[in-house]
A and B are shown apart, each in its own frame.
Chain A
Amino acid sequence: MERRSRINIIYDILRVIQERVGGIKKTHIMYRANLSHNQMKLYLAELYKKRFIENTDADKPLIKITKKGQDFFRQYAQVKEFEKTFGL
């Protein structure tokens, strides 16, 4: 099986988060995006830093996608479609 690139992992995480409109738990992201615990921690830290994701409430440990994250997800979905079209 082909190894996922960093950007593809970010795309998969955002996809998983976006699927749950009300927010998603960290453990669910880990399972659904096929990540180890360490990988998840590193990637989530990066996504928080880039403001692609945020917590729904301070008291609830749920994560949701931001507008910036949605824009990135849409742009990357187009890139994937473009690559697929040209077999790249």
Chain B
Amino acid sequence: MKIVFTPDWFLGHDVLIDVFSFVILFLFFLFSIKSYKLNKNKRLLYLGIGFLLIALAELSIILTKFAIFYDTTLTSSIGGLIITYQVVSSVDIIYYLSFFFERLFTLSGLYIIYRLPLKKLSGDFVLVSYFIIIASVMCHNFYYIYHLTALIFLGLITRNYIKVYRKNKSANTQIFILAMSLLAISQVMFVLSKVSYFYVTAQIIQLTSYITLLILIIKITKNGKKKQDKHNL
């Protein structure tokens, strides 16, 4: 069964996009933890955990893709059909596990980010965790279930942050909404990713979304400095 839809000519480029995504997510994690240490707002800690889980998911996919790339190289250099089969079988379980954790971590991280703006953090955690695990397991046979679940979470996140924007009128919240909407669109493209054109488009949209998140973190940092400069005048 095909587990990665990257066309051959795009191999390597997609890993670079994943590495970039990982760096941005990790930056958000660091910023959240730094903020939590300063004012002990637990929601900041949860936000950090949410970003960390998605970052770990990216890391998992990066390592898996490296492994696939290494296998391909090994296979082509040895050339034997039987040896190829053995190599693929031995790493099959690793692929399965890493894809499982990638999906589990991403969906859990998205769920945390979705819950945060809500007044009550408590919810049906056990039930939701159960469905997230089920979705992560089922994705092995039906890859699109993961993307559809992620799409639902991203849609809910977008809806929640639109409500936040109506209250705070912050341009930064608008940027976050844009980034999440782009990620949601990329999930629609990933659902169709059996056609390589859609897979590449999804990856490019994902890259655009993470560039938007990078702009957001730069803006937040600059706004802090601006406030200081304004008061220094």
CB within 8 Å of B: which residues of A? 5, 7, 15, 18-19, 21, 70, 73-88
In terms of DSSP, what is the predominant structure of the interface of chain A?
Answer: helix
> CB within 8 A of B39: which of A18, A70, A79, A81?
A79
How many angstroms between the C-alpha atoms of A43 and B184 in the bound complex? 47
Known: A86-B161, A87-B117. 11 other contacts (CB 8 A): A7-B40, A73-B227, A75-B34, A76-B39, A77-B228, A79-B35, A81-B224, A84-B168, A85-B220, A86-B176, A88-B47
Residues of A within 8 A of B43 (CB): 86, 88
In terms of DSSP, what is the predominant structure of the interface of chain B?
Answer: helix
Contact B38 A87 (CB under 8 A): no
Number of residue pairs A-B, CB distance < 8 angstroms: 87
Contact A84:B38 (CB < 8 A) given known A74-B228, A77-B227, A77-B228: no
Residues of A within 8 A of B227 (CB): 73-74, 77
Contact A88 B232 (CB under 8 A): no
Residues of B within 8 A of A74 (CB): 224-225, 227-228
Contact B232 A21 (CB under 8 A): yes
* Number of residues from B at the complex interface, CB < 8 A: 32
A-B contact pairs, 27 of them (CB 8 A): A18-B231, A18-B232, A21-B232, A70-B228, A73-B227, A73-B231, A74-B224, A74-B225, A76-B39, A78-B31, A78-B35, A78-B224, A79-B38, A79-B39, A82-B44, A83-B35, A83-B41, A84-B172, A84-B173, A85-B170, A85-B216, A85-B220, A86-B47, A87-B164, A88-B43, A88-B44, A88-B116
Residues of B within 8 A of A86 (CB): 43, 47, 116-117, 161, 164, 173, 176
User: Which B150-192 residues sit within 8 Å CB-CB of chain A?
Assistant: 161, 163-164, 167-168, 170, 172-173, 176
